[in-house]
Amino acid sequence: SAVISQKPSRDICQRGTSLTIQCQVDSQVTMMFWYRQQPGQSLTLIATANQGSEATYESGFVIDKFPISRPNLTFSTLTVSNMSPEDSSIYLCSVQDEDYEQYFGPGTRLTVT
């Protein structure tokens, strides 16, 4: 399986600011995903990020709040914009292989004060 890294691993941010999370994969992958996991909850898909096209957002998530870049087949960023305490969560990127198996990065733990 691919090796996935995320930066930062954690951050504490003030409300109203923005944070960009980076996801790096050690091999080329077509499909990358961004998830959110709030405390004690399961994973919620934010968007699918395919290289060369606009990200596809799930219901309840909008590009203005969560802009995503996918400049190449090994890298993606997710920005959490104009943060509020409700955005405090773990943000995870994942990649999917040709067998539809998804593997997750270590996550970014975000606290908004």
Partner 1 sequence: QKEVEQNSGPLSVPEGAIASLNCTYSDRGSQSFFWYRQYSGKSPELIMFIYSNGDKEDGRFTAQLNKASQYVSLLIRDSQPSDSATYLCAVNTDKLIFGTGTRLQVFP
| Binding stretches for partner 1 (CB under 8 A) | 1, 33, 41-43, 45, 48, 90, 92, 99-107
Q: Quick one: 1 or 17, whose CB is closer to partner 1?
A: 1
Q: Least distance from C-beta 17 to partner 1, angstroms?
A: 25
Closest separation in Å from C-beta 16 to partner 1: 28
> Are 112 and 14 in contact, with CB atoms under 8 Å apart?
yes
Collect all residues with Cβ–Cβ distance below 8 Å to 85 and sequence separation of at least 6.
15, 112, 113
Tell me whether residue 45 or residue 81 sits nearer to partner 1 (CB atom): 45
